[in-house]
Amino acid sequence: MTKLNYQSGFTLLEILVVVGIVVIISVPLSQFQKDVFVQNNLVQSGVLAEEGARSVLRQFTSELRSAAPANTGAYLLASAGTSTLTFYSDTNGDGLRERIRYFLAGTSLKKGVIAPTGSPATYVSNNEKISTLTDNVINSTSTDVFSYYNENFNGTGTPLAQPVDISLIRLVKINLGIDPNPNRPLAPIWLTSLVMIRNLKGNL
């Protein structure tokens, strides 16, 4: 009587087929995971950039709203340009009004602060402490960072023409564009705030 001996297992062809199927499935799956990771990073960086920009606007609004004459007696607004604004405000609650300068340097919005010193008080330009508030600002020469309005502003209208007579300013608009990933397909963030200066409040 002939005895047959069967051996279980996979043939080489079966193994090659299984490996091929695994490769076919794993390649698009790996690409999908990579795309999800990249998109998640893009969204996260956009959210962080927007929150950072909103924080800058809140700080700017608070400081400018409470602007007051300098400790030297100078007018509360020192200069007002399309990409720079200088004013006096007590930012740390010490009773002294610092000279605050917000300005665009390249693609960075920066802030310079000079504390008054001496008696009588003086503001020494060499003492200015500059910090970077946010990067990747995309405002161009045709999109002003700062715009200014007089007491007749009612919510709409044309801003004061440059060079601005600072004595006419009653309200300041900041319009900030941020592109958190200039080399990535993420829409830029535009944030706007209108600030009424309390000590200059007239008909507004």
pLDDT tens digits, one per residue of 89-137: 999 889 999 999 999 999 999 999 999 999 999 999 999 999 999 999 9
pLDDT value of residue 74: 97
Q: Quick check: is 8 in a domain?
A: no
Q: Quick check: is 85 in a domain?
A: yes
Quickly state the pLDDT bin for 180 (edges 50, 70, 90): confident
Q: Quick check: is 7 in a domain?
A: no
State mean pLDDT over 146-158.
Answer: 91
CA distance 143 to 145: 7
pLDDT value of residue 194: 95
pLDDT value of residue 41: 53
Q: Which tokens belong to 109?
A: 């919005």
Q: Considering its fold, how many domains does the chain have in total?
A: 1
**pLDDT tens profile 61-95:** 999 999 999 999 999 999 999 999 999 999 988 99
Give Cα separations from 20 to 8, 23, 86, 154 (angstroms).
22, 5, 67, 70
Q: Quick check: is 25 in a domain?
A: no
pLDDT value of residue 16: 75
pLDDT value of residue 100: 98
Give Cα separations from 117 to 37, 88, 97, 123, 128 (angstroms).
52, 14, 11, 7, 12
Q: Quick check: is 3 in a domain?
A: no
**pLDDT tens profile 3-33:** 555 555 667 776 777 777 777 776 766 665 6
144: closest CA among 132, 160, 168, 155? 160
Residues comprising the chain, all counted = 204
The whole domain housing 167 covers: 37-200
Q: Quick check: is 26 in a domain?
A: no
Note the pTM of the prediction, 2 decimals: 0.76
pLDDT value of residue 184: 66
Given the structure tokens 């690409």, which residue do they identify? 31
Cis peptide before 120 (omega within 30 of 0): yes
pLDDT value of residue 96: 95
Q: Quick check: is 54 in a domain?
A: yes
Q: Quick check: is 22 in a domain?
A: no
CA-derived radius of gyration, the chain = 30
